A and B are shown apart, each in its own frame.
Chain A
């Protein structure tokens, strides 16, 4: 070991090979995880950014610069043409808002053209609100550009294979472009309008926009703050898209900060458009807004202008298959807008599919499951109608409902549903719920303040949490409540209700809302949606009033059993412009609220997959367990039960035992000895000689590297049943400190599972000799007491072989003497004892046989007398030591050892002592004493050498 081989050095350098393998597995797993995480972000997409100049305007001759980015799959080329997607952003956004969506489409094999609409960001021109002459014509020129690209697949010359996708402002453009340009192959307009005038000037009894109630909150945000209003469900035009490094700074307002609206955009803004009241809005749009916002009423010219920017009038010209995605949490463009679009397009025979999701202008992208569904539908639609891949998507209707909060990220959770046909806002069935209450007077506050709060535009995902914020002002609203519902109702669509109103002025602006009231009294206004109505020609008294039917905005909500419905008619709402004059109206509600319902089936989510995974996992574990148990049983049956005939009667036979530790250290090697019945064998050696290692292997605690151990002829391996015939004390006592000595012995015996009668507690306790202390807790024991108890434990059941490691450690001399007698008595009746010790006297006095080990090897073994007798030295007490020395030196082989006090210690080296004495006497030297050196110290030192270093020091 003084010159370790390179292999041994290597083994030491690596703690163990197993550990190295485990470490390698961990490293590989980590590397795989990191690679996977990085891989997911990288995509094969290349981009080209360019400022394109297109000509549009009523005559198609006004140049405008558009800031564009073109995304191409890296493998697209003129030889491998790909279909295209025109991806439009929302109001207040720029081409950067849709960057991540563009990359995703490009990753799916589409060439994607994004651009910043005129009037925003670095693009030139003014905002015309998706005017067919401006924005729509810009987009037509972009189609021309796409058709000219060699990588883009075409239907014919100048006609690209293209789908148009966009949310809100971009969705409106998609509809208007498809109506104006038949080259468009499919469109996916999301959360967008049907009639812009109705969206901003709604009237829920079916009145014209000129009679509508001005939605001042949203309109003001659009005009003044702008902001990124077009948050679509699939993250389309999401304002959170990070600004990439090195990309041209977006001049568009990324956030709805007031004053940072389109009016402040630098860059391509024409020098003349510096009117501070209009910003980058076109003059006619600006003028119309200012007129409406001032009076709260729209004139016909303003309505006409908004209508021009609306798909409502041109839906019959759309031939591109249309997927309409609309948000339920949307007080700007509620579900009714998509409903109108769906009807209009379907009337022309064009395929239409409708999907509702729980987000919207108020709700954002909605929960993850929702945005995933919308993304899936969009890709499916484009793949079939633009790329020409995949089955027809069909026209079934999907929607979702908020089911609760996500337990993990505290977001909302939606459950998706599916129905074969789109039923519209009227549902496929209706449920009438009677609401009651007296006719109530309500005050219209002067100048609309204080006003009820129903929704806060731009509260984003918080909107649905604001249900709790929604509040009505006392005295300004009337309540009509239903009885608690006997069973739950799944509302999907627009509820209707009939009311009567009276007003001293003959006119009234009212807000009708439907609350869901839980048994505790907490009222929830679903998505903050209200139905504004403007009634004219009203009588003074409510009895004279004519019933009018109000259609509330479409909602999707489950009203639980036990909940009540509360119909509230309020005179004011913060989001709307109300008459300035203070008035007192009287309102009454007749009959019932009619709730539309749709029967659909839940869309299976990934949960189903996970359930199968869980079932599979459990099954795999069960099967694995069964297999392992079977294998173990089988191995157990095949266990070597043969008896080595040579050792059948031998309590212990150790054959060529070798133990090499993982670090290359050889603790014992080539150890051979036997213990026969009736023997007390002492395993003698200095500290670290390998005694304890041998005993550990013997107890099945350690696996030997080589060699065998036989106990009564049975091969001993860890856990061999034959171990039950061995009682052991190895490396000191091991007891449960909180139990008494007796309890410890009993606990130990219980663990053996053997009959209590076989334990022989009394004998064992007598040997321990602890007296009453046996009832005390072990932790209060002295070292010697524990040692005695441990010996008693080893003797429990009177095993045929007793193995004791340093049994006298901690015992005082009388106890040692007693122990000696006990062991000698024990080794009768065919039993045997193996004692290890580093104390020579102990072995000499206790044992019948001794095995001397040193540095892991046996140096001598046999009866104690034999080992002692092997001592070759004799002490001579002579009259003339000097002469004697001379005589002895002449004798062949005899050697005089260094002596002391005039005594001669002689190594006779085989020469008979009598011959030596005769020789001395013959030389005239008087011999007083001849003492054979029988002390084991000599024998021991002679056998193991003078080097006192233990084998552990090798």
Chain B
């Protein structure tokens, strides 16, 4: 027996040593959906690249908006190609991926029934949530980096290392352009924290992984729709999606940080609120799954 622990625990047990980050990271890495999601992040830029190869001229009628300009400029260099890849995935794909990583993590354990065994180890509840959250965020960040990294590598190999161009500003030298691109990625990561928070809260509330992921995406889409209704006026500023495209301002010269900063405030506030609720709920609830 040899119980020496003052808290009466089994030999070798320390609450702070339970559920190590690496163990949870491997646990998630073994999952097919993690592999598929990350794989798709690598695949998407390549698909876009191939699609551009097929589109040899033809009609240039992409409408007259900033999307058209990004499409037109996408093949002008690796940086622009990366920008385009980010642009097409920012509004939906990345939202789904982040919701998947953050919404699935607790709910899937609950649905498998393995959550109660983790808690009976016992992994302290706050620690379990913290590790789960950090790992989910790590995978979300990894997905973002994989997407941008693949696009940058593939785009640079195919289209060369050219300045970053956009219709909103003068062209930026590659070095400066790369910095701007990193800033865009950073801002996107911050905006997606709101999705991460929402999905994580739902993940804690429900035992159905699909419900958590779908619910987060659904609410995100709802917020986007409400944001289109200009009649809502200043109330729109409070929607989590309102500032989701503010990263375009990072491409202009001088950099427009006004909306970026407000977007950061909005996203961080929402994320903190949702995570706070998730911890508050999970550390008190009865696990019935």
A positions within 8 Å CB-CB of B:
33, 37, 40, 403-408, 410, 413, 415, 518-520, 560, 562-563, 605-607, 610-611, 613-614, 617-618, 621, 632, 639, 641, 643, 696, 699-703, 711-714, 718-726, 728, 730-739, 743, 747-748, 750-755, 758, 793, 797, 799-800, 830
Confirm or deny: B23 has a beta carbon within 8 angstroms of a beta carbon on chain A.
yes
Is B27 a contact of A736 with CB atoms below 8 Å? yes
Q: Which residues in A have their C-beta under 8 angstroms from that of B23? A: 747, 750-751
Q: How many Å from the CB of B254 to the closest CB on chain A? A: 6
A611 x B120 contact (CB < 8 A)? no
| Among candidates B11, B18, B126, residue contacting A758 with C-beta atoms closer than 8 Å | B11
Cβ contact within 8 Å between A722 and B27: no
B residues 125-178 in Cβ contact with A at 8 Å: 125-126, 165, 167-171
9 additional A-B residue pairs with CB within 8 Å, beyond A611-B261, A703-B284: A405-B248, A408-B245, A607-B258, A614-B264, A641-B8, A696-B287, A702-B286, A725-B3, A736-B27
Instruction: Please tell me if the beta carbons of B117 and A793 are within 8 angstroms of each other in the complex.
Output: yes
CB of B62 within 8 A of chain A? no
Complexed CA–CA distance, A415 and B6 (Å) = 64
Closest to B113 in A: A734
B15 to chain A, nearest CB (A): 6
Q: Is the CB of A722 within 8 A of B268?
A: no
Contact assessment for A563 and B252 in the assembled complex, using a CB-CB cutoff below 8 Å: no
Chain B's closest residue to A720 (CB) is B122
- The answer to whether A752 touches B245, judged by C-beta atoms less than 8 angstroms apart, is no
Do B286 and A723 touch across chains, with their CB atoms under 8 A apart?
no
Contacting pair A737 B112 (CB below 8 A): yes
18 pairs, CB–CB < 8 Å, chain A vs chain B: A407-B248, A610-B258, A621-B272, A702-B286, A711-B8, A718-B122, A719-B125, A725-B3, A728-B120, A734-B117, A735-B113, A736-B27, A736-B30, A736-B114, A753-B14, A754-B13, A793-B117, A830-B1
Q: Is the CB of B13 within 8 A of A721?
A: yes
B186-228, CB < 8 A from A:
none
Q: A407-B249, A408-B242, A699-B120 are in contact. Are A725 and B264 (CB under 8 A)?
A: no
**B residues engaging A (CB < 8 A)?**
1, 3, 5-15, 17-20, 23-24, 26-27, 30-32, 65-66, 112-126, 165, 167-171, 233-235, 238, 242-243, 245-249, 252-254, 256-259, 261-262, 264-265, 268-269, 272, 284, 286-288
Q: Knowing A403-B254, A725-B10, A751-B118, say if A408 contacts B243 (CB, 8 Å).
A: yes
Known: A408-B259, A753-B17. A724 touches B247 (CB 8 A): no
CB closest residue in chain B, given A558: B253
Do B19 and A751 touch across chains, with their CB atoms under 8 A apart?
yes
Evaluate contact between A754 and B12: CB separation under 8 angstroms. Answer: yes
Q: Which residues of B contact A613 (CB under 8 A)?
A: 261, 265
The answer for the CA separation of A739 and B29 in the assembled complex, in Å, is 11
Within 8 Å by CB of A639, from B7, B24, B30, B114, lies B7
Contact present for A404 and B253 (CB under 8 Å): yes
Min distance, Cβ B201 to any Cβ of chain A, angstroms: 12
Q: Which of B113, B118, B252 contacts A732 (CB 8 A)?
A: B113
Contact of A723 with B122 in the complex, beta carbons under 8 Å: yes
- With A405-B252, A712-B8 known as contacts, the answer to whether A752 contacts B18 (CB < 8 A) is yes
* Contact status B9-A721, CB under 8 Å: yes
Nearest 6 pairs of A and B residues by beta carbon: A734-B113, A404-B252, A753-B17, A407-B248, A721-B9, A607-B258
Question: Are B112 and A735 in contact, with the CB atoms below 8 A?
Answer: yes
Please give me the residue from chain A that is nearest to B281 by CB atom: A18
A residues less than 8 Å from B269 (CB atoms): 617
Partner of B235, one of A37, A610, A614, A702: A37
Closest CB-CB distance, B142 to chain A, in whole Å?
20
> Shortest distance in angstroms between B80's beta carbon and chain A's nearest beta carbon?
13
Contact B13 A724 (CB under 8 A): yes
Select from chain A the residue with minimum beta-carbon distance to B260: A407
Chain B min CB distance to A479 (Å): 22
The listed residue (B115, B234, B259) touching A734 by CB distance below 8 A is B115
Whether B112 pairs with A730 at a CB distance below 8 angstroms is no
- What CA separation (Å) do A37 and B286 show in the bound complex? 40
Chain A residues with CB below 8 A from B288, complex form: 696, 701-702
Expressed in whole angstroms, the minimum distance between the Cβ of A462 and any Cβ of chain B is 12
Q: Is there contact, CB below 8 Å, between B19 and A753?
A: yes
- Measured between beta carbons, the chain B residues less than 8 angstroms from A700 are 119-120, 122
Interfacial chain A residues near B287, Cβ < 8 Å? 696, 701-702
Query: In the complex the two chains form, is B12's CB within 8 Å of A758's CB?
Result: yes
Q: Which residue of B lies closest to A648 (CB)?
A: B8
A798 smallest CB distance to B (angstroms):
10
Contact status B254-A415, CB under 8 Å: yes
Contacts of B246 in A (CB 8 A): 407-408
Inter-chain contacts of B268 with A (CB < 8 A) = 614, 617-618, 621
Q: Which residues of B contact A734 (CB under 8 A)?
A: 112-117
A33–B233 alpha-carbon span in the complex (Å): 12
Complexed CA–CA distance, A952 and B264 (Å): 50
B30 touches A751 (CB 8 A): no
Query: Please, which residues of chain B bring their CB within 8 A of the CB of A738?
Result: 30-32
Question: What A residues does B243 contact at CB under 8 A?
Answer: 408
Contact in complex: B254, A701 (CB < 8 Å): no
Cα distance, A748 to B197, chains bound together (Å): 27
* Complex CA distance for A404 and B253, rounded to whole angstroms: 7
A224-B258 Cα distance, complex, nearest whole Å: 43
Taking the closest CB of chain B, its distance from the CB of A841, in whole angstroms, is: 27
Residues of chain A contacted by B265 (CB below 8 angstroms): 610, 613-614, 617
Query: Of B7, B257, B258, B264, which is within 8 A of A641 by CB?
Result: B7
Known: A408-B242, A737-B112, A754-B13. A721 touches B8 (CB 8 A): yes
From residue B103, how far is it (CB to closest CB) to chain A in Å?
Answer: 17
* Residue in chain A with minimal CB distance to B117: A734
Given known A723-B121, A724-B121, A734-B116, contact A641–B6 (CB-CB < 8 A): yes
Q: Quick one: closest B residue to A714, CB to CB? A: B8
- Report the separation of the CA atoms of residues A408 and B23 in the bound assembly, to the nearest whole angstrom: 42
Contacts of B10 in A (CB 8 A): 724-725, 754, 797, 799-800
